[in-house]
Chains A and B, each alone.
Chain A
Amino acid sequence: MAENILEVKDLVKHYPLTQGVLFKKQVGAVKAVDGISFELKKGETLGIVGESGCGKSTLAKVLMNLERATSGQVLFKGEDISQLSGAALKSVRRNIQMVFQDPYTSLNPRMTVGDIIGEPFEIHPEVAPKGDRRKAVQDLLDVVGLNPEYINRYPHQFSGGQRQRIGIARGLALKPEIIICDEPVSALDVSVQAQVINLLEQLQSEFELSYMFIAHDLSIVRHISDRVGVMYLGKMVEIGSDEEIYDNATHPYTQALLSAVPVPDPAARESRDRIILSGDIPSPANPPSGCRFRTRCWKAEDRCAEEIPLLAVPTVLKGAAAHDSACHFPEVRVQAAA
Chain B
Amino acid sequence: MTTVIENNQKNDRLEVGTPLLEVKDLHVEFHTRDGIAKAVNGVNYSVAAGETLAVLGESGSGKSVTAQTIMGILDMPPGKVTQGQILFRGQDMLTMGNEERRKIRGQKIAMIFQDALSALNPVLSVGYQLGEMFRVHQGASKKEAKEKAIELMDRVRIPAARQRVNDYPHQFSGGMRQRIMIAMALSLQPDLIIADEPTTALDVTVQAQVMDLLAELQAEYNMGLILITHDLGVVADVADKIAVMYAGRIVETAPVHELYANPAHPYTKGLLRSIPRLDQKGQELYAIKGLPPNLLKVPAGCAFNPRCDVATDLCRTEIPALHHVTDKDGKELTGRRSACHLWKETLHG
Q: Do the beta carbons of B281 and A262 come within 8 Å of each other?
A: no
Q: Do the beta carbons of B257 and A267 come within 8 Å of each other?
A: yes
Q: Contacting A223 at CB < 8 Å: which of B173, B230, B285?
A: B285
Bound-state CA distance A222–B260 (Å) is: 22
Q: In the assembled complex, which residues on chain A have CB atoms less than 8 Å from the CB atom of B272?
A: 264
User: B156 in the interface, Cβ–Cβ < 8 Å?
Assistant: no
Q: In the assembled complex, which residues on chain B have CB atoms less than 8 Å from the CB atom of A278?
A: 209
B282 to chain A minimum Cβ distance, whole angstroms, is 9
Bound-state CA distance A191–B281 (Å) is: 18
Q: In the assembled complex, which residues on chain B have CB atoms less than 8 Å from the CB atom of A52?
A: 174, 203
Q: In the assembled complex, which residues on chain B have CB atoms less than 8 Å from the CB atom of A256?
A: 205
User: A29 in the interface, Cβ–Cβ < 8 Å?
Assistant: no
Binds A, one of B82-90, B217-225, B231-239, B329-337: B231-239
User: B131 in the interface, Cβ–Cβ < 8 Å?
Assistant: no
Q: Do the beta carbons of B276 and A260 come within 8 Å of each other?
A: no
User: A265 in the interface, Cβ–Cβ < 8 Å?
Assistant: yes
User: A108 in the interface, Cβ–Cβ < 8 Å?
Assistant: no
Residues A191 and B204 in contact in the complex (CB < 8 Å), given A222-B276, A262-B231, A263-B237: no
User: B300 in the interface, Cβ–Cβ < 8 Å?
Assistant: no
- Nearest residue (CB) in B for A243 is B281
Q: In the assembled complex, which residues on chain B have CB atoms less than 8 Å from the CB atom of A123?
A: none
Q: In the assembled complex, which residues on chain A have CB atoms less than 8 Å from the CB atom of B307?
A: 191
Q: Do the beta carbons of A276 and B288 come within 8 Å of each other?
A: no
Q: Do the beta carbons of A194 and B209 come within 8 Å of each other?
A: no
Q: Do the beta carbons of B285 and A257 come within 8 Å of each other?
A: no
Q: In the assembled complex, which residues on chain A have CB atoms less than 8 Å from the CB atom of B174?
A: 52
Bound-state CA distance A107–B212 (Å) is: 38
User: B322 in the interface, Cβ–Cβ < 8 Å?
Assistant: no
Bound-state CA distance A193–B247 (Å) is: 18
Bound-state CA distance A230–B54 (Å) is: 31
Interface size on A, residues (CB 8 A): 43
A-B contacts at CB below 8 angstroms, number: 118
Interface size class of B (residues with CB under 8 A): 35 or more
A293 to chain B minimum Cβ distance, whole angstroms, is 11
Q: In the assembled complex, which residues on chain B have CB atoms less than 8 Å from the CB atom of A198?
A: 284-285, 287
Q: Which of A52, A191, A222, A223 has the most chain B CB atoms inside 10 A of its CB?
A: A191
Q: Do the beta carbons of B206 and A280 come within 8 Å of each other?
A: yes
User: A287 in the interface, Cβ–Cβ < 8 Å?
Assistant: no
Q: Contacting A261 at CB < 8 Å: which of B204, B212, B286?
A: B204
Residues A161 and B291 in contact in the complex (CB < 8 Å), given A257-B205, A262-B237: yes
B317 to chain A minimum Cβ distance, whole angstroms, is 24
User: B36 in the interface, Cβ–Cβ < 8 Å?
Assistant: no
Q: In the assembled complex, which residues on chain A have CB atoms less than 8 Å from the CB atom of B274?
A: 190-191, 193-194
User: Which residues of A (208-227) have their CB < 8 Å from a CB of B?
Assistant: 216, 218-220, 222-223
Q: Contacting B288 at CB < 8 Å: which of A51, A191, A274?
A: A191
Q: Do the beta carbons of A189 and B284 come within 8 Å of each other?
A: no
Q: In the assembled complex, which residues on chain B have CB atoms less than 8 Å from the CB atom of A269?
A: 236-237
Q: A250-289 toward B: CB 8 Å interface, digit per residue (1/0)?
A: 0000001100111111111100001011111100000000
- A selection of 9 A-B contacts at a CB cut-off of 8 Å is A190-B232, A190-B274, A198-B285, A202-B284, A216-B204, A261-B233, A262-B234, A266-B257, A269-B236
Seed contacts A276-B212, A280-B206; 7 additional CB < 8 Å A-B pairs? A161-B291, A189-B59, A220-B276, A222-B278, A257-B205, A267-B261, A280-B173
A-side residues, CB < 8 A to B, are: 51-52, 159-162, 189-195, 197-198, 201-202, 216, 218-220, 222-223, 242, 256-257, 260-269, 274, 276-281
The 7 nearest A-B residue pairs measured at CB: A262-B233, A223-B276, A194-B287, A194-B274, A260-B208, A51-B203, A189-B58
